[in-house]
Amino acid sequence: MTNGGTSPSDAAVLARGRRLLALAGDARGRDSAEEARTLALRAAADLERGVRLTGDAGTPSAVRCRALLDLAEARAVAAADSGATGVLEALHEAVEDVRDVSPDLRVLALRRLAEAHGARYRYTADPAELDAADRVFAQAQGLVQRDDPVRAELLAGRGEVLLARADSGGGLEVAAEAVRELRAALALTAGGELRLAERQLLFGRALHRHHTAGGAATDLHEAEWILARAARGARADRTAALAWLERGEVLLTLAGVTGAPEWLDLAAESYHHGVRSALRAGEPLLAAQAHHQRGAVLERTAGPVRALTSYRAAWELWQRAGAAQGPQARSTFERMTALGATT
């Protein structure tokens, strides 16, 4: 036996599957989707065989768990869906294989399973998937110490799930729990961490949802502050664009709550930054949304001529993105037509 309990033939099959999986990952990085799918299918076939062989040979469960985790990844790449049924099956089996063996490996398997349920929800919109993801993230959190570096990832992951539950009508209690989890995740996230801006964006959204569900006005002020930090500190232009757009929504809400017109000017500016970040990211849909929202604000603050310029830019982007028939694109066209008739 070799490789921690696998036979030479088992190890060779698993090694080949992992090599093919690495090549599939490289193909994805080069945006070669068909090549990645082909390689991932081959990797999955080898890994499935390797899992069967390790089961027949009575291989240590930790070895088999790692093989199942790799199999889940190969199936996700092959299906272009990290919440596919085969992915969930492999991850459930991986979790069971290390129930009483390796806490660290069990935490990894639980985290992957929770993320897969979250991905499945984005495809199916089935609230049961969010409930499952929440439950599995909570299980994983119960296995880690407070100073464990992986704790921040689990807190952020569960916070994102709770945020999705709040967005689907979860109410004030769920929104408050999302705020708590994401606040704790940020407290454990170092200043130079690559995912800092993404977590700040999630936290800002959670604060905004908490206010919408019945929270205090202080939620909006804290959300505006953290979203500005996320937008200005983001290393990815898409993250920056999303933060600028979310901040614009918060500023509009502040304008409605306080009646102070300066919030509207700041909202228009935030949407302008959102346009620029979205275009740099190559995201015409995001840029169109930002232009549309800016146009709506400018109608109230700067008059129809300037608003019309933003609406026309949004309409051009909707068309470029092939989304001119969508509801927001139609709203852009309606406003553009109405303002064009009066200017």
Query: Which positions of the chain have pLDDT values less than 50?
Result: 1-5
Q: Where are the beta strands (DSSP E) in the chain?
A: none
Q: How many residues does the chain have?
A: 343
d(CA 259, CA 34) in angstroms, rounded, equals 54
C-alpha dihedral sign at 252, 270, 242, 148:
negative
| The model's pTM | 0.90
What letter would DSSP give residue 58? T
Determine contact, residues 207/223, Cβ cutoff 8 Å.
yes
Q: Are 105 and 66 in contact (CB under 8 A)?
A: yes
Helix or strand holding residue 335 (H, E): helix 327-340
pLDDT of residue 57: 57
**Residues 6 or more apart from 42 whose CB is under 8 A from it?**
20
